[in-house]
A and B are shown apart, each in its own frame.
Chain A
Amino acid sequence: MSLLPLAAPAALFLSALLFLTEGALASRKAPSLRKIHLPLFSLLLLLSLVPLLFSAPESLFHGQFLWDSLSRCSGLLLGFSALSAMLLLPGYSRKSEVPGAETAALLFLGNLALLLLSSTTHLLTALLALEAFSFITVLLGGILRDRRSSEGAMKTFFLGLTASLFSLFGLALLFGATGKADIASLVSLSPSPLLKAGLLLFLFSFLFKFAMAPLHSWAPDLYQVAPAPLGAYLSTAPKVGIALFLLRLSPALTPLLPFLGAFVIVTVLWGNLCALRQEDLRRLAAYSSVAHSGYMALALLLPSPFRGNALLFYLTVYVIMNLSLFQALSLLPEGPELSPSLENLKGWGKDEPWIAGFLAFALLSLAGFPPTPGFLAKAILFLPALEKGLFLPVGAALLGTLISVAAYFRLFAPIYFSSGSTLKGGDRRGRALLALSSLLLLVLTLWPKGLTLLIKEVFSHV
C-alpha cells in the first residue's frame, strides 16, 4: 500500500501546524514574513496538485480515504478558495483585528476537513469531517470577536450542533439496519423504511451545512459578520466538499429523490426571493449562495452520466463567480457597526470602471445570463432534468432564475445609474485577484468546451 495519496492531506496538516506554531511564537508586530510566504506557499500547494489530477484512483483504509480525480478536483477548487481568502486579507479594512497566522492555520485545517469529506466513501468519516469543518466555520465566522460576530458564530454553532445530532442518529439507524456504513453496501441493499429514515436523518446535517432552505437560516447571519475575505471562503469551500460527497453518496439516495426534489424547489425559490429584499450586500450574497445550493442539489436528481457532469460544471463556475462577488465586496470598508449595503456601491461605475465591470460580469453570470458561464451551467443542468421529466423542480428553478435576475440587477442601479462619493478599500492584490477571477470567467465564456472536456477527463478516471 502506497501512502503517496496522503501527501496532499499531510501537506495541508503540516502547513496548518506551521502557521499555528508561528502564530504562537511571532509577536503581533512582525507580520512581514507572513505576508510573503502565506500566499506563495498555498499557491505552490495548489499547483502541486495539478500533475496528480489524472492518474488511477487509489483507495486507502478500506475506502475511508479515496484519492481519485474527483478528490483532486476538490483539492484544486478548495485551494483556489482558500488562496483567494488569504490574498484578500492583507487588503481587508479591518485586517488589524484578524489574527493572520491563526486564520491561515484554520483555512488549511478547513481545507483538510473538506478534502477528507469529498474523498471518503464511508459515512462515519464523512460525518466526522463535516463536524471538524463546522468548528472551523464557527471560528472563522466569529474571528473578529466583537459582539456582532460572536452572535453570528454562536447561532451557527448551536444550530449546527442540533443538525449534527440528527445526522448522528440517522447514522445509528443506518448502522443498526444494515450493519454497514459505507456507500457501496448501502447502494446494494434494497431500501427498507428504516434505511430510508436513517438516510434522511443522516442527510440533515449535510443539507444544513450546504445551506438548503429551510435549513439555511444561519448562512445570512454568518456571512454578514464574517470578514468579507473569509465570507468568500465560507460561501464556496464547504459547498465544494459537501457537493462532491453528496455526488459520491448519490447512488444510495435514489429512494430519497422526492425529498431532495422538494428541498430543491423550496431552496431555489426561497433563496432568490429573500435575496430580492436585502439591502445588506453580504446578506444578499448569502441568500444568493443559498439559491445556488438549490441548483447544485438539482444536479443530484439527474441520472448517472449527467449528474456528475452537471454538478461539477456548476460547482466550478459557482466557485469562480461567487469568489468574484466576494472579492469585489471585500474592497468595501467595514466597521464594527458598518456593514456594506447597496448605498456603498454608488458611483463605482464612474470611479472604478474596471472593478465595476468585473463585478457586473460576475453578477450577470450569477444571474445566469447568456453567454456567461452561469448560463451554460444552468443549461447543462436543466436539459437532462427536463429529459428525465423533472418538470416541477426545473420550473421552480427557472422561476427562481427570473427572480434572481431582479435581485442581482438591483446592484446595477447604484453602480451605474447614480453617482456619489465612493468608499474605497482593498489593495492591489485584491484587485488583481478579482481580475484573475474575471479572466477565468471570460475564458469559460469563450471556451466552455475546455471545462466540459476537463470534466469528461475527470470522470473517465473515477
Chain B
Amino acid sequence: MGLTTIDKQYPSLRAAALASCLLFLSACGANQVIVDSQFPQPALDPIPMTLGVYFSEDFKTHIFVDEPKAETERGWVVETGAAQVSLWQTILNAMFEKVVYLEQAPSTETPSAEVQSVLIPTISDLQYAIPAHTNTKVFELWLKYDIAVTDNTGDSLAEWSMTAYGKTPEAFMQSNQEAVGAAAIVALRDAGANFAVNFPKVPAVSEWLQRASDETPLREGTP
C-alpha cells in the first residue's frame, strides 16, 4: 500500500503515525521550531482579477521532521504550516484584486462557481543546514514549492517549481532553534518575494494572464 493510498484512505492513521513520531522525537529532546510569523503588507499593485486559492491540509499543517543520524545527535522538528498560510495569504491578498480561499480542491465533481482559476501551492521539499553540519557560522534553510494554477474544474493551466532560501548568522546567546526559526522567516520572506516578482514572468502564467485580461478587459488606469 503506497503512502498516497494511506493518505487518502486512512488520514487518521497518518496523523497518529506523525503524532507518535513527534512524541518519540520530543522524548529524545528533538530541536523543535515553530515558525509563526506575521509578514509585512506588500507594496504591490493588484492584478485586476479574482483568484481562487486552495491550501491542502498538508500545506496548512506542514511539519518537517529530521530524525537524528547518530545517538549523540538531536533530531529536528520544524513546523512551518501556520507561517506558510500567513505568508501566502498576505502576498496573494496584495497581488490580486480579490482572492477566494476554497475549502476543497477544484474538480469536475465540485467545480467552484465563484472563480475561474485556482492557485494551489505545495511544499515539495525543505532542507536545512546548521554550523555543526557545514562548519560555517551560518544557519540556512531551503524551501521548494510546486505551484499549480488550474481552472475551476481542476484542469491544469500552469505548473512550475519555485525555490526560496534563508540564512542567518550565528549570534551570541542565540539558540540553534531560534537561529533556524530566523532562517525560516528569511526563507519565507524570500518565497513571497520570489513569487510576487516572478509570477507574471512564468511563460504559462503570462499566457494565462493575457487570456484572462482579453476575456475581462482591465480597468482603466490599472497597470
Q: Do they bind each other?
A: no
A: which residues have CB within 8 A of B? none
B: which residues have CB within 8 A of A? none
